[in-house]
Structure 1
Amino acid sequence: MERAQEHRPGEGRQVPAARPGEPGAALELLVHGVGGTTPEAMLNDPRTVRVTGDDIAAVFRRADDVDAERHPTARRDGPIPEAYVWCNLTSGNGTRALWLLLLPFMVVNLAHWMRPTARNRPRTVRLYGVLVRLAGLSLTVLLVAAACEVALDLAAWQCAGTGTCAARHSWLGFLSPEMSDGGWWSSPGRRLALAALVPTALTGLLWYLSLRTWSAYESQQPLTADPGAGPGEGDTGTALGRPGFWYGRRLGARLRAAHTAAGL
């Protein structure tokens, strides 16, 4: 992947744009398996160019196909191959497993985008969005409540308050009045206050993971339209084709604050 270069379509040379009415260039998306590979091997060409993405995941083309959209009729031997290289998404240290904590919230996010078509029904769309966001907040409350149940109720209150249970779990000995001979942490209030650090830390971890994704993705400025493109050329007619579809700086910040407040 070191040989791949980063390039923007139309950079460095002038290519005539396609005339109105001409058919667009067909694309063939190539995606490798879990084993990972290089864009050169996927495209069977030593000269590859990164057309979009970053060092973690990106789409590559052959150097000769970078500006293929501007002259689609010049290519007659089949669709334009593009290689999606995502092998770096699964590489890293063990802390990447913490992202599994956000898996339930990803399902709620998918539920938002799976909303059935409701044209000319703005109230229904807003109501659906409110219900989905309430479901996401309920997941945060449920996760933090489960941590409170384990840390405060089961561990600090019940187990540490019972001598036989504290004897079987030596790491709770300093919280038990019998095991610690009435130590400073053995009073019920101090035990619960110390155990409350567990759900607080969990809420802080969720906030940190959300901040990481917000900084890396949602807060990135959308791509600007090509100055040389005519009116309407940059609009594909679909939501995914809009330049600001993935831009959620304000909305992501508000949702992160709401989930943090719900967890606390």
Structure 2
Amino acid sequence: MAPATPPPPATPSPEHTGSALELLVHGVGGATPQEMLGDPRTVRVTGDTTAAVYRRTEDAHGEKHPERYGNEPVAEAYCWSGLTSGNGSRALWLLLLPFMVINLAHWMRPTATGRTRAVRLYGVLVRLVALSLTVLLTAAACEVALDLLAWQCAGADACAERRSWLGFLSERQGGWWSQPGRRLALAALVPTALVGLLWYLSNRTWSAYESQRPLDGEDFDEDDPF
């Protein structure tokens, strides 16, 4: 009986030559990058004035010089307090929440190498869901503004009299806006304004966040204390 062949020696894994990163995140109370990093001189690595990642100025190029740190990680501070502070208009972003879920469904698509047809079909279905959500939201606004208010309530004297802000649409008033067609045309401004608001919020969000690009190494200024 031949002796068993010993298994081949394990191939050693390549040595990690880069520096490890330590990410510091403050709580709901908020904190400045200087407080989190314990250094008055910090530099912004990426982000903007709303949310950003900072390093100590001397650590701006830490990944290029791992020999300086040995086994110690390079500390980074993520400051996000600007996301929860501001004026009341930030509450309008909740209107984008259903569309955010659809965006997640698109970006969470698993990699399908060699299955281009399935990937394209998935993309088409996600876009159809997004379109149907937009149509559903617009139809709901039309139902409330055009049907319930402009057609039914404004067309009934008892309902219009109980709501003074609909008085100019009442047929009993006999005003210029009391005609059914004119009432509906005026009420159509509500879903139009809603779609315009969604466009404005999404465009503002894109301009403020998704359009940001990480800073290159050349963009760091060693003498800039920001």
TM-score band, normalised by the shorter chain?
A: 0.7 to 0.9
In structure 2, what is the equivalent of residue 106 of structure 1?
100
Task: Give the percent of matched residue pairs that are identical in Structure 1 and Structure 2.
Answer: 73
**Matched pairs, number:** 205
In structure 1, what is the equivalent of residue 83 of structure 2?
89
Are 2:47 and 1:56 equivalent residues in the alignment? no
Larger radius of gyration: 2
Q: Output the TM-score relative to the length of structure 2.
A: 0.83
For 1:65 and 1:209, the matched residues in 2 are separated by 36
In structure 1, what is the equivalent of residue 224 of structure 2?
none
In structure 2, what is the equivalent of residue 132 of structure 1?
126
After TM superposition, give the deviation of residue 116 of structure 1 in Å. 2.6
After TM superposition, give the deviation of residue 75 of structure 1 in Å. 0.9
Larger relative contact order (C-alpha < 8 A, sep ≥ 6)? Answer: 2
- The alignment's C-alpha RMSD in Å is 2.1
After TM superposition, give the deviation of residue 186 of structure 1 in Å. 1.1
For 2:44 and 2:176, the matched residues in 1 are separated by 61
In structure 1, what is the equivalent of residue 204 of structure 2?
212
Deviations 1:63-114 (A, max 9, x none): 2221111121331252111100111122221112111111111110011111
Structure 2: which 5+ residue stretches go unaligned? 1-13, 219-226
In structure 2, what is the equivalent of residue 199 of structure 1?
191
After TM superposition, give the deviation of residue 208 of structure 1 in Å. 1.5
Corresponding residue SS for 1:203: helix
Q: Output the TM-score relative to the length of structure 1.
A: 0.72
Are 2:188 and 1:187 equivalent residues in the alignment? no
Q: Which stretches of structure 1, 4 residues or more, deviate above 6 A after TM superposition?
A: 224-227
Structural mapping, 1:42-53, within 5 Å: 42-53=36-47
The code of the aligned residue for 1:212 comes to: R
Taking a change above 3 Å as real, the CA distance of residues 224 and 170 of structure 1, as seen in their structure-2 partners, is: closer
Structure 1: which 5+ residue stretches go unaligned? 1-19, 228-264
Deviations 1:9-38 (A, max 9, x none): xxxxxxxxxxx9652111111111222110
For 2:150 and 2:169, the matched residues in 1 are separated by 7
For 2:56 and 2:215, the matched residues in 1 are separated by 24
For 1:140 and 1:172, the matched residues in 2 are separated by 28
Are 2:107 and 1:116 equivalent residues in the alignment? no
For 1:62 and 1:224, the matched residues in 2 are separated by 15
After TM superposition, give the deviation of residue 124 of structure 1 in Å. 0.9
